[in-house]
Amino acid sequence: MLKLNITSETAPLKAVVLGTAISNGPTPDLAEAYDPKSAQHIKAGTYPVEKDMVAEMEAVAAVLEKYNVKVYRPKLIEDYNQIFTRDIAFVLEDKFIKANILPDRDEEIEAINHVIEQIDPKKIINLPEDAHIEGGDVMPYKEYILIGTYKGDDYPEFITARTNMKAVAALQKLFPHKKVVSFSLKKSNTDPRENALHLDCCFQPVGKDKAIIYKGGFLIEEEYNWLVNLIGKENIFEITQEEMYNMNSNIFSISEEVVISEKNFTRLNSWLREQNITVEEVPYAEISKQEGLLRCSTLPLIRE
């Protein structure tokens, strides 16, 4: 049995599901794009090819193994995108919460059944059908569960709005002892520089008490200010719009002392090293063209 435990983003990682890029399928048609960044690369003819993405993901697997993390991978589905495991489910405390994701991605969760079968069935949570949530919007931090959402009445019109207030309420019910705080994120179906797909696209805790943040991803300035006050201004690395577009806040912590980051994130990686954090650099620029990076492609199961 897997004894699930996730209460923070940075506690030492013991077990994780890492996505796979093998048999990723052909470049999608423009009509099939889930986000503006993928659409941009489909149009430009620069959409990533399978062999490059496989190499990038294997580099991550190698780093995880170097730190003795138990790595699970999804079962292969032919011609199917299985990179972003963070979207399909997430763990909070000892509960495995299935995400209610875009309906045409249902098969992705079935591909990790060999992992789910090792979890106590009582700990597997199916949210109400109208509660939409993806793991990229969920961030445990001390006594809080921080959640990215979109509250506008035009929610259904945004394919980029993945988490609604019904899901926020459902998590508050599940974790009554936690403070569940939601943040309205800026959404755009057409401009990737104006779209924060998930909370981890504009915010992520790192190290002991630090965080990466992008102010422009937040729709409501007071909510952004609240977050800055929570972390402390002196502990924050502010990224630019271009860095957000390149997914600088979507790195992944193996522990408080070690992160996996993209090798081109020069400004961020220097700052992390100044905080005495070991930066394991990997190439991930091709996968980032699908508006997801290292946190998006990992589903942590156990941290110390």
> pLDDT (tens digit, 9 = 90+) per residue, 102-154?
667 778 999 999 999 999 999 999 999 889 899 999 999 999 999 999 887 77
* Average pLDDT of the residues in 71-82: 94
Could you write out the three-class secondary structure of the chain? CCCCEECCCCCCEEEEEECECCCCCCCCCHHHCCCHHHHHHHHHCCCCCHHHHHHHHHHHHHHHHHCCCEEECCCCCCCCCECCHHHCEEEEECEEEECCCCHHHCHHHHCCHHHHCCCCHHHEEECCCCCCCCHHHEEEECCEEEEEECCCCCHHHCCCCCCCHHHHHHHHHHCCCCEEEEEEECCCCCCHHHCCCCHHHCEEEECCCEEEECHHHECCHHHHHHHHHHHCHHHEEECCHHHHHCCCCCCEECCCCEEEEECCCHHHHHHHHHCCCEEEEECCCCHHHHCCCCCCCEEEEEEC
Confidence of residue 32 (pLDDT cuts 50, 70, 90): confident
**CA separation for the pair 49, 141 (Å, rounded):** 36
**CA separation for the pair 132, 120 (Å, rounded):** 23
Confidence of residue 196 (pLDDT cuts 50, 70, 90): confident
Confidence of residue 292 (pLDDT cuts 50, 70, 90): confident
Confidence of residue 51 (pLDDT cuts 50, 70, 90): very high
> pLDDT (tens digit, 9 = 90+) per residue, 230-257?
999 999 999 999 999 999 999 999 999 9
Using the predicted structure, report yes or no on whether residue 86 has a pLDDT greater than 90. yes
Task: Give the start-to-end residue ranges of the domains of the chain.
Answer: 13-303
CATH for 13-303?
3.75.10.10
**CA separation for the pair 15, 300 (Å, rounded):** 6
Confidence of residue 197 (pLDDT cuts 50, 70, 90): confident
Q: What is the pLDDT of residue 176?
A: 98
Burial class (CB in 10 A: 0-12, 13-18, 19+), 216: middle
List the single range of 15-19, 120-124, 146-150, 225-229 with lowest mean pLDDT: 146-150
Q: Which two tokens stand for residue 284?
A: 């991930």
Q: What is the pLDDT of residue 303?
A: 98
**CA separation for the pair 292, 201 (Å, rounded):** 8
Give strand pairing partners of 138. Answer: 147
Confidence of residue 25 (pLDDT cuts 50, 70, 90): confident
Q: What is the pLDDT of residue 102?
A: 65
Q: What is the pLDDT of residue 160?
A: 65
As a whole-number percent, the residues of the chain with pLDDT over 90 amount to 76
> pLDDT (tens digit, 9 = 90+) per residue, 271-282?
999 999 999 999
Q: What is the pLDDT of residue 158?
A: 72
Confidence of residue 157 (pLDDT cuts 50, 70, 90): confident
Q: Which two tokens stand for residue 112?
A: 């990790």
